[in-house]
Amino acid sequence: MDAVAVRQPEMAHEPHPRESFIRHYIFSIDHKMIGKQYFLTTMFMALVGGAMAMLMRAHLGWPDNGVLSPEQYLQAVTMHGTIMIFFFLTVMLTGGLGNLLIPLMIGARDMAFPFLNMISYWTFVPGVITILLSYFVPGGPAGNGWTAYAPLSAVPAAEGGAGLGQTLWIIAILFVVISSLFGSLNFLTTVINLRTRGMSMGRLPLTIWGAFVTAVLALLSFPVLMAALGLLLLDRLAGTSFFEASNLIIGGAASTHQGGDALLWQHLFWFFGHPEVYILILTPMGVVSDIISTFSRKPIFGYKAMVLSLAAIGFLSFLVWGHHMFVSGMHPLLGAAFMGSTIIIAIPSAIKTFNWCTTLWHGRIHFTTAMLFAIGFVSVFVTGGLSGIFLAIAPVDLYLHDTYFIVAHFHFVMASASLFAILAGTYYWFPKFFGRMMNETLGKIHFALTFLGIYGTFYPMHFIGLHSNDRRLYETTAYPFLSHTGPVDVFVSLSAFLLGFAQLFFIANFLWSLKYGPVAGDNPWHANGLEWTTTTPPPHGNWEGALPAVYRWPYDYSVPGARDDYVPQTVQAIPLVAAAGAGGGEA
């Protein structure tokens, strides 16, 4: 696509090949349709998870009103975490953004295994149905936390151990795990084998690097979770004792389990769980890098360092799971070792932050909604990353472990950061996939309220956490030293409602723009990536005619002497100022 053609927004819209409704919208094997299916399904799940958060905050702000019973409160806590992590963030980033973007950004017609891709989505759907069904079984859904620590989650006799709900929880997550494994295999194969001519690994956009490292992490960590879930299911249903020691008295009666170890669950869970945290943040880091570069009209600073730090974080993520277990009873020497590996992660994280900041410097910043969310990402990531240092230093974690301080920490560094990148990515790529622009005014209101809502909700949690207010407490009346935390809880709840309210602007904007947004050109942001060189929306097979060839990295913004402030990856010879009007050719 040359630069001149890009300026004609009314380019012909290529008709899709004729397909039946079911083949096109339900059992599609086109990565774009599968990506949209994932996107909409996970957005719906985000609403469910968000509703859980609203319920929790409605209770915690005014605990005397009896909005939730203790059991319902723990169920809301558990389902909020479970749904947001497994059914929204993980799958949105891989199944949603990964599917939509990988083939288009590397110049492929589709995923390497389109049929497997369809199977992957249709393995995810039963998981969604199962977890939603668990609300309607006797006893309600699981209420043992998203970490489901055994033996509480393993022995139904343990008070609050839940019945069928916990079993369905295990089965639902097994579906997600299998679906994610299909997806990550597909993503790895696609990135390794299907890059178009000239798209060397050194020219990949950082979004793709993020998705690539994420797929490696998913492939290596999800099987461990799968094994752990299998063992837990056996403990619950078949009477095995992987996680239960001998001589326990549970629910007033002697337990028949013997010989197991409760810490085994934690080791398995966190061996998956820590890479999982990076599964939720590496793709966002890539997305934000690309968006900041595009709207600063400036190359991303330190591309190689960005790639290396992504890889370093990915590698280190397998060596740090024990920092979730400093007080679990594992040997203090292990704690010492995990403290060492954990703090090292601060170094690549710092490098990335400084590189984003430097990319802004001497840029020519366009404050689109996508860019605002990318900037917001850097802010919340830094805030959450810094509070992580307290927790990484194990002796300090002795005090802060399991308090609201850590709730604040991971909601900033992982949940909010990931959410901001997803929203930034949605505003950024919406035109490509839906053919229309989103409304910028609504977008900016959405950003401002979300940004303030996030800080208002999670920042004060540091304070009550420092005051040793533990997480997952139904109410704090048992503890005299917490008798004056009520005002903070009210403030946090009001901020959370603002945050929830702000998302209505997003939903309205999304739905309205689908139908009434201004028609987008092929390259509305004047960006360099390959996805902007095809028509909007891209046809089946992604490019009419031959696949594009790549001649440069995706960050040639504001090249000195060039006619335009961007040079798409497909341009071989940069059109210079003097040669204006001659146009660049697609080779």
Partner 1 sequence: MEDTGRTHDERRAGRWTSVLIMFTLVAGVLSFVWSARSYWLLPLASAQGASIDELFDIILVLTAIAFVAVHLFIGIALWRFPARQGAKAAHWHEHLGAELTWTVVPAIGIIILGIAGEVVWAKVYSAPPANAEQVDVVGRQFEWQFRYPGPDGRFGRSAPRFVTSGNPFGMDPSDPENKQNVVTINDLHLVVNRPVLLHITSIDVIHSLSLPNFRMKQDAVPGRVVDIWFTPNKEGAYQIVCAQLCGVGHYTMRGNITVQSQSAFDQWLQSQIK
**Whole-angstrom distance, CA of residue 188 vs CA of residue 195:** 11
Among 61, 103, 141, 460, binds partner 1 (CB under 8 A): 460
Residue type, 435: G
Instruction: Give the binding range for partner 1 (CB under 8 A) out of 110-118, 185-193, 227-235, 365-373.
Output: 365-373
DSSP-assigned states of every residue in 383-397: HHHHHHHHHHSHHHH
* From 8-16, 218-226, 400-408, 430-438, span contacting partner 1 (CB under 8 A): 400-408
- Crossing angle of helices 262-279 and 206-237, in 10° steps, is 160
- Judged by CB under 8 A, the residue of 558, 572, 574, 583 near partner 1 is 558
For residue 361, the minimal CB distance to partner 1 (Å) is 5
Q: Is 346 in the site for partner 1 (CB under 8 A)?
A: yes
Q: Kindly state the tokens that stand for 64.
A: 């005397």
Angstrom distance (rounded) from CA 206 to CA 303: 8
- Rank residues 468 and 572 by Cβ distance to partner 1 and give the closer one: 468
Smallest distance from partner 1 to CB 437, Å: 14
Minimum distance of partner 1 from residue 133's CB (angstroms): 22
Both structure tokens of 532: 């902007």
Query: Binding string, 8-37, against partner 1, x = CB under 8 A?
Result: ------------------------------
Site for partner 1 in 223-252 (CB under 8 A): 244-252
Q: Residues 26, 40, 389, 514: which binds partner 1 (CB under 8 A)?
A: 389
Pick out residues in 66-125 that bind partner 1 (CB under 8 A). Answer: 70-71, 74
256 forms part of the interface with partner 1 (CB under 8 A) = no
Largest alpha-carbon pair distance within the chain?
88
Min dist CB 306 to partner 1, Å, is 10
Mark the segment that binds partner 1 (CB under 8 A) among 82-90, 109-117, 208-216, 323-331: 323-331
Among 65, 159, 239, 546, binds partner 1 (CB under 8 A): 159
Contact 247, 165 (CB under 8 A): no
| 360 scored as a contact of partner 1 (CB under 8 A) | yes
In whole angstroms, how close is the CB of 5 to partner 1 at the nearest point?
16
Judged by CB under 8 A, which of 130, 167, 387, 439 binds partner 1? 387
3-state SS assignment for residue 571: strand
Name which of residues 302 to 321 contact partner 1 (CB under 8 A).
302-305
d(CA 581, CA 579): 6
Q: Decide: 14 and 540 in contact? Cβ < 8 Å.
A: no
Orientation of helix 31-61 relative to helix 70-82, angle to 10°:
150
Q: Tokens 């909604």 sit at which residue?
A: 369
Contact between 438 and partner 1 per CB under 8 A? no
Residue ranges in 499-538 that form contacts with partner 1 under rule CB under 8 A:
526
Of residues 158 and 414, the one with the C-beta less far from partner 1: 158
Query: Side chain identity at 581, as an amino acid letter?
Result: G
Give the 3-state secondary structure of residue 358. Answer: helix
Do 557 and 297 contact (CB within 8 A), yes or no? yes
Contact between 394 and 335 under an 8 Å Cβ cutoff? The reply is: yes
